[in-house]
Chain A
Amino acid sequence: MWKDKAMRLLMVSAASTSIFLVALIFIFLVKEAAPFVLTPGLRALLDRQWIPVSFVQEHFGILPLVTGSALVTGLSMLFTIPLSVLGAIYIAEIANPVEREILKPFIELLASIPSVVLGFFGLVVLAPLIKALFGLGTGLTALTGAFLLTLMAIPTVITLSEDAIMSVPRAYKDASQALGASDLQTIFRVIIPAALPGIIAAIMLGVGRVIGETMAVLMVTGNSALMSWSPLAPVRTMTATIAAEMGEVSFGSIHYQALFWIGLVLLAVTFILNIIAQRVLVRYGMMK
């Protein structure tokens, strides 16, 4: 019996590493970011400019980076939401079984294309296209990034929305049809409203993925840290800033600490989105 107890202990400890890891991630981010609180103080993060290297005066305001991330994410959701929801409806309700068996792995395939490959495609194919289309000086814009992010969010949102649609009880559909509703009326007035909490959770998880995405936006959004709400101007996101600047920064400097603060903000945002999405799924009984 000792062996049985030992194995149980092994499994419990393995499972506990996840808790341990979450704690470690938080602790180490805070540890590296902490000295910033004393000098120059947290107010410095609320500056409207991000100029981390300067001979005159450095600025560590993360607002332009937050608006950059928000702009790119918002734009990409504008495309992602309609495309994914309609895609999920198609796969769950309209496609025939053979089509479904082909479409589902194909969407999974999209999820496994590395983001750096999508970023590369964006750089050499999409950016020149956008430059020519809108007559711009550069094709490296918020819009270019948003297009790529849409491609990255689609697999997550389609798959989870489809799960939500599939989890609507069959009886709803039968009842609707028995009352004389057409298939399309049933889809849009019965199934979609019933699946809505799941779809909203799917969208939130998609947003979490898009905000945290690094390489694709780093490569195609032009990386200028100016506050701008124009989709056709270059922007710089929080993730891209960390990736681009961490390589050149001296460890322990104020700039280094500021980059860890950005990491903490990203962690907090994705954590909150995740928790709310999970709450919604549990509340409406849509957990698998």
Chain B
Amino acid sequence: MSTRREQIIYLLIRMVMYSIVLVIGYILFDIVRHGLPALNWEFISEYPRKSGSEGGILPAIVGTLSLLAGTIIVALPLGICSAIYLSEYAEQTRFTTIIRLAIITLAGVPSIVFGLFGLGLFVLFLNFGTSILAGSLTLACMVLPTIIVSSEEALRAVPLGYRDASLALGATKWETIRTNVLPYSLSGIITGSILGIGRAAGETAPILLTVAAFYLPKLPKSIFDQVMALPYHLYILATQHPEADKVLPLQYATALVLLLLVLGLSLGAIFIRIHFRKKYRW
């Protein structure tokens, strides 16, 4: 039995929770409401004109997508292999402890510090210049811990019996991993990785110093080119544009495109997870 006082406290806690939900909802609603009217095919498919006051955001979309592709190519194999080591091979040794410590440390490094690091190592020391290559590598370092942690979780979810059965039949360790562990954990690995990489798509601070161009109305030709990127473009339009108020609809539309891209990736990942959770039940 709960007393009247307790019921009031319950109500208060519920109100706290739902006011958080309400605020999130309002932010999304506000951006969709103001962004949608300015969002059309021309906006997505055309080059910007007059330093972004008119025209579209095609180079920024292409820029962000190419950064994403670069990040995936670098971070995904590295992250999955690390996770395989941690879940399948690693013993409780000092070496393993240090690896885990390193991953935790990486996960906590602020994004702007990754930017500084990328500037120091990739842009200047390795002389990649401000380029897609430098930006992708920087973003890859940033998402690596997320990919490792979620992939390891997915690998560990596969029951031990699967491994034992394969090993008992004479398969080697690698054959066991390839045929009896990876196939069943792939969906989990993919979802976790998409969630991590989706966040990279919206990151501004690391690309600010390593790749992003202020205004560059053309498409990149090689991985050594600078590109525009959606988050940076939004930042520039909102804070540096001489007539920031006049281009407000374009700012909202850019925010909406970025939001759709990032949330689309995240929602996709969440749906894949729900789908596969129903398929595999150990």
**Which A residues form the contact surface with B (CB < 8 A)?**
1, 3-4, 7-8, 10-12, 14-19, 21-22, 24-25, 28-29, 31-32, 82-83, 86-87, 89-91, 94-95, 103, 105-121, 123-125, 151, 154, 182-184, 205, 208, 211-215, 218-219, 239, 242-243, 246-247, 251, 259-260, 263, 266-267, 270-271, 273-275, 278
Contacts and interface: CB of A to CB of B under 8 A. Distances in A.
Nearest to B251: A120
B106 to A, nearest CB: 6
Nearest to B90: A15
B117 A28 contact: yes
B275 to A, nearest CB: 14
Interface of B: 1-3, 6, 9-10, 12-14, 16-17, 20-21, 23-24, 27-28, 30-31, 77-78, 81-82, 84-86, 88-90, 98-99, 101-117, 119-121, 124-125, 141, 144-145, 148, 172-175, 177, 195, 198-199, 201-205, 208-209, 231-232, 234-235, 238-239, 248, 251, 255, 258-259, 262-263, 265-267, 270
A214 B207 CA distance: 12
| Interface of A: prevailing SS | helix
A8 B89 contact: yes
Contacts of B203: 114-115
Contact of B27 (A94, A121, A218, A251): A121
A89 B144 CA distance: 31
| Interface of B: prevailing SS | helix
A17 to B, nearest CB: 6
B117 A214 contact: no
A203 to B, nearest CB: 14
Contacts of A242: 112, 115-116
A1 B172 contact: yes
A112 B255 contact: no
B265 to A, nearest CB: 8
Contact of B108 (A7, A29, A271): A271
